[in-house]
Structures are given as C-alpha cells and as structure tokens.
Amino acid sequence: MEAGAGEDARTTAGQEAGVTELSRTEYSIEARARVTRRGFTVKKNWDNPVEHAMPAEARVPAEVRIGTVVVRPATVLAPMAGVTDTVFRRFIRHASLFNRGQVSGVRGQEYTTEVEAAISNVESGCGLLMTEFTSADGLARMRETKRRRYLTFYDDEHPIGAQLFGSNAETLAEAARIVEETGFDTVDLNLGCPAKRVVGSNGGSGLLRDLPKIGEIFRAIRKAVTIPFTVKFRMGWNESQIVCVELVRMAEAEGLNGLALHARTREQGYSGQAQWNWIAAVKEAVRLPVMGNGDVRTPEDAAAMVAETGCDGVMIGRAAPANPWIFRQIAQYTATGSYERATSEDRYRMIRAYFEMLLEEAEATKDLPRDARMGDPVGKMKQFATWFTHGVPGGAKLRVAIYQARTGAEVLGELEQFFVARMAEGETAEEDDGEGDAFSDATLVCD
C-alpha cells in the first residue's frame, strides 16, 4: 500500500519503527530510553573478539531465498531498536555512494555509481533490511493514521522485513496482517530481545521458556499471512536451557520460511562470545535457510562464520552503525578476495551524508501529523555520533563537541572542522581512547 505523492512515496504505516506499546500507552522517545535502562544495552565493544583470518575457500553466499524473496547477497541488516529506522536503513542501502563524493540529494532520487559489476548488490552489499522491532499490541490497537510512526519505508528499501514482538498469538497474527497489507516483503518474529521490560511482558527472549506458546504463535502468524515468515531467536534462556534446535524443528514443521540465530543466551545479553557451534547445530537440524548472527565485525568474520557453521547467510547488528561499509566490504571480498577500507575522507562523507539525511527527513515530515514526524534530528545526530566515531583517532573530542552543539548546522560545522584537520594531518593521529565521551550508547537496545 503506497502513500500519496505528497508524502514522497513513503509507505503508509509510520515513521519510527521502534519499540512501541508494551501496554496501552504509546511509547515516546523518553519511554524507549527507560526500556533500555531497565534491560540490556548494546555495547560498541566486543568482549575479547576473536580475530579471524580470511578463509581460503568460504565466502558469504551470493544469494539466499527466503520463501519467494531473493536476498542478494545473503547479508541482512539486523533489527535494532533506536537504530534501524527508515533513515538508517536507506543510509545502509546506499552506503557505497557516500565515499564517492555523492553526499547530498539522497532523498527519493535515482542513483548511479561506478562500482565493480561483479559485486552482487552494487549499492551496499546488504541484501535485506529489517525494521526496528515493533510491538504487536501497539500496532493492532492503533488507528491507521498513527501507524505512520512505527512502520515507514521507501521504495528503495526493498526487500525489507518488519519485525514484531509480543506474546498473544491472535494479536501477533493481526499485526502480521497489517505488515503484509503495508507492503513489506517479509514478517519476522522477535524471540531474541533480552530487555527486562520486554521479557517481563513475555515477549522477545522471554518466550524461549515456553515452546508450546511459541508453537501457537507460529501457527497463528503462518495462517494470517502469505508473505515469507521468519523468526530471529537466541539459543535459549541460559546455558542450562538451550532450546534452539527444538525451536527450529518446530518452526520448519509450522511452515516458516527462514531462521536467524543470535548465538547467545538471554542471560548473556551482549557479553561474552557468540557460540557459533549452535548455528551449525541449527543448520544441521533443518532444511530452512539459516542466517548466522553474533560477533561479525569484519568481512573475515562473516566468511569464517559461513565456513565454520555452513549457514546460508549472515546477519549484522552493532557492527553496521560503527562501520556502515561492512556490507559492501563483504560483497567486495566475496567478488574479489579483498576489500577497501574507509579513509578519513570517506568517513567524513559518510557521517555528513547520514546527518544530512536526518535533516532532510525532519524537514520533509514536519507538516505531517505529530505521530508521523521524524522527531529531533539533532538528538539523533548526537546518538549516532558515538557509533560513527568509535575507534576514530581523536573521536572522543569530536563526540564532546557534537554533544554540546544545539543545531544541525552546528553539528555539521563541528564535523567539518574535525575532519578537515584530520585529512590535513593524514592518518597519523593517536587512536581514540574513548575518554571524554559526553554521552554513551546506553540509549540503544537491539535484539
């Protein structure tokens, strides 16, 4: 279902696909922050990450079929609350353009670029985009006009899937019908979010303690929609309650079309090592396509995951906002055996492009009903600055300067001043030590 011309081809189900209702009250940005403070937050750092060498043979597959949807290449942007809204998704989809000088004018336009023809997805290397996770209760109860805030996408985001969370089978089925009617390519069930408030309502990874209830939900959603239906889940509640193999066998029996395993337990949150051996066990247990998720930071990691587990594709979460080129790098490695690394100039263009997209989206939605507007772009800039500049030499000082800025123009000014100096110095400045951060990543939570 497409929007009218006055909305620039925006799909008519909302602007912020994020944490919605866990009760009868709609979530504001402040309420979303309260959810994250009461649960697990995404960390920019990994705990003692394993360094993988380039596997001699394995590559991320060129494509994977999820029901009728072809995901080409077989890489997926993970659903992340507070991150994967329509601006960030489109930013990822067109990330390769931003290190080639095309910074502005990205909204609703055609794109051409000189990118190697051998790369499967010439724009970004990301085969499938996912929304932030959205409450089925909230979606089912809202008036259609208010759904604008929660499920928005543009034509250039296809293929795109919407992720739902909840615990009531009938409500989830109704929400899935709304997702299909809105025009999404797939619908996904969240069985992975570890946040206490989500789990407390028996949503997300809380359902991993009740496999019969999951089976009931699988049947209800599968009956409600014809588009591909997938599930993203964790290994289990804790190390003594690993249920992922039993869960995927049930998913296959109930007619689901694809699986994505974040190879950690709910108890782990985002700490420790992802246990890729369970991805291999899930892949061996069923014939459904399996996407591996957890601790993929580099193209080497992605290739190693495929080599070690036999998974059909790779889903990437927190590495994406820290390195938006990662999908394109994976595609380059798949095609050529090597990949480009971003320079300071590339990073400047990338960050500026994203911030300009935020400002454009805020301007384009300012006259829509309040529930359909984007919200504060400056606040979003500050939120993402900590991701985009993580590990950048001297990045801590830039983050402080951005946090102190009051307008979008001031943010862009600080950004330009910092990177002009960096490019003049070359790549010789000391690495970012993380000190002096005026804000953290505690406002972000994902599944």
Instruction: Give the domain-ending residue among 282, 306, 336.
Output: 336
> What pLDDT is recorded for position 271?
86
In a domain, 118, yes or no: yes
In a domain, 5, yes or no: no
> Are 390 and 266 in a shared domain?
no
Position 363 pLDDT exceeds 80: yes
Domain count, the chain: 2
In a domain, 267, yes or no: yes
Domain that holds residue 248: 12-336
Residue in 326, 336, 299, 293 with CA at minimum distance from that of residue 312 = 293
Instruction: Give the domain-ending residue among 316, 336, 356.
Output: 336
SS3 198: helix
> Are 214 and 357 in a shared domain?
no
> Are 230 and 361 in a shared domain?
no
Sign of CA dihedral 186, 191, 196, 202: positive
pLDDT for 218-266, tens place per residue?
A: 999 999 999 999 999 999 999 999 999 999 999 999 999 999 999 999 9
**Which tokens belong to 43?**
């960390």
> Are 241 and 146 in a shared domain?
yes
Higher pLDDT, 200 or 311: 311
Instruction: Give the domain-ending residue among 313, 336, 359.
Output: 336
Tell me how far apart the alpha carbons of residues 81 and 18 are, in angstroms, rounded to a whole number: 5
CATH number at residue 300: 3.20.20.70
The reply to whether 193 belongs to the active site is yes
pLDDT for 139-164, tens place per residue?
A: 888 767 667 667 888 898 999 999 99
> Are 241 and 386 in a shared domain?
no
Query: Per the omega criterion (within 30 degrees of 0), is the bond before 73 cis?
Result: yes
Residue in 393, 379, 399 with CA at minimum distance from that of residue 422 = 393
What is the band of 47 on the pLDDT scale with cuts at 50, 70, 90? low
> Are 22 and 168 in a shared domain?
yes
Find the catalytic residue in 126, 193, 311, 446: 193
Position 127 pLDDT exceeds 90: yes
Single pTM value for the model: 0.81
Residue 43: Cβ-neighbour burial (10 angstroms; 0-12, 13-18, 19+): middle
**Which tokens belong to 26?**
């709609």
> Are 206 and 81 in a shared domain?
yes
Taking 3-state DSSP, the helix, strand and coil percentages for the chain, each rounded to the nearest 5, stand at 40, 15, 45
